[in-house]
Structures are given as C-alpha cells and as structure tokens.
C-alpha cells in the first residue's frame, strides 16, 4: 500500500530530477520487501540472523540490517635497502667574506653511489653573536674512489668564521652489486 501511494505521488510530480530520485528510492525499497519477509521471525527467533539479515521490530516498523565480515591479508614487502654510510672529512678557513671548505667523501659499502649533505657554517658577527648558515650540497661517484671537493661559501662582511660541520649526510648505492 505504501509503494502504491509513493508511486501515485511520483506521477504527480512535475520535476524529472525528483521523479528519478523517487523512482530509485521506490526500487530500492521494493528490493528490501523480500529480504524482510525472509528475515522476519516470530516469537523466540526475533532479532536473530537468518541468511545474513537481522530483523528487529521497532514499533510498527521492521528494521533490517545486514553485516558481512571480510578478512584481508596485507603483506608489506621491505624493499631491498640501497642506503650506504658515507663519511665526510672537512677542512676550512676564512678568506675575507668567504668560507673556503675542502673535503673528502668516503663510502666503503658500494662503488657507484651518491647522495647529499648539509654544511652548517657558524660565524660570529661584530657584536659577538653566533649565526649558522646552511648550505645543501649533492655528490655522486661512479667508482670506488673518494670524492674530493673544494667550495667557497659567502659568510658576509665583518664576520669571523667559527666552524664548519657536515650534517644530514645521505648516501645511496647506485650500482646493482651493492655489498
């Protein structure tokens, strides 16, 4: 009876969008009627599952619910590590407004490798305040020889160079025969 009333109201509507939405609602509701009949129990069986559907009488209406447990196995594969451990040896001195930095990068884990590092250059201004300047550099090699570099970095006027440190050193083997 309820479906007939909804269908009658649907025909009276002028707007196609509302008609389409109501039509879908009626079809979905009509599909639930057989499920309600299959899941409806009486007396002692009320509220139990039958065929995966649980029915519960609430006032004058019937509440239907369905649950399904799905178990999924997810396996995480650890990618083969290509990281390596590089060491940096640094030497530095001040040349007027520039910090001259010479260094060597060594890696004994693999021949062809590359990566990056950060140079932290600490300077002292005229008032004695310390400031740290940061520069990020990249490196790469195709054989097992050490990487030797020599660079100049601006530190500003009236600054004294205090120290240079390498931080955040990253190394990645780029050859297939990583040890």
Tens digit of each residue's pLDDT (9 = 90 or more) over 63-103: 767 666 777 777 776 556 688 888 889 999 998 899 999 99
Q: What is the pTM of this model?
A: 0.51
Domain that holds residue 37: 2-66
Tens-place pLDDT, residues 32-52: 665 555 555 444 444 444 456
**20 and 60 part of one domain:** yes
CATH of the domain at 126: 2.60.40
The domain total for the chain is 2
Return the higher-pLDDT residue of 30 and 179: 30
Query: What local confidence, expressed as pLDDT, does residue 136 receive?
Result: 93
- Asked whether residue 79 is domain-assigned, the answer is no
With CA atoms as reference, report the closest residue to 160 among 109, 113, 125, 111: 125
**90 and 165 part of one domain:** yes
Contacts with 117 (C-beta within 8 Å, 6 or more apart), sequence order: 86, 88, 105, 136, 137, 139, 166, 167, 168, 169, 170
Percent of the chain's residues with pLDDT above 90: 30
């Amino acid at each position: 009876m309820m479906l007939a009333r909804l269908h009658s109201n649907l025909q009276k509507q002028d707007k196609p969008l509302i008609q389409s939405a109501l039509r879908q609602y009626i079809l979905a509701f009509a599909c639930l009627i057989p499920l309600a009949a299959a899941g409806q129990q009486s007396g002692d069986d009320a509220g139990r599952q039958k065929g995966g559907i649980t029915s519960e009488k609430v006032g004058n209406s019937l509440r239907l619910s369905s649950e399904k447990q799905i178990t999924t196995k997810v396996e995480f594969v650890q990618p083969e590590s290509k990281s390596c451990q590089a060491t940096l040896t640094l030497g530095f001195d001040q040349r007027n407004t520039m910090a001259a930095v010479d260094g060597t990068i060594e890696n004994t884990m693999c021949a062809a490798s590359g990566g990056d590092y950060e140079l932290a250059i600490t300077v002292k201004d005229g008032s004695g305040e310390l400031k740290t300047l940061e520069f990020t550099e990249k490196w790469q090699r195709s054989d097992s020889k050490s990487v030797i570099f020599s660079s100049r970095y601006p530190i500003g006027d009236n600054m004294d160079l205090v120290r240079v440190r390498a931080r955040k050193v990253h190394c990645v083997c780029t050859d297939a025969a990583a040890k």
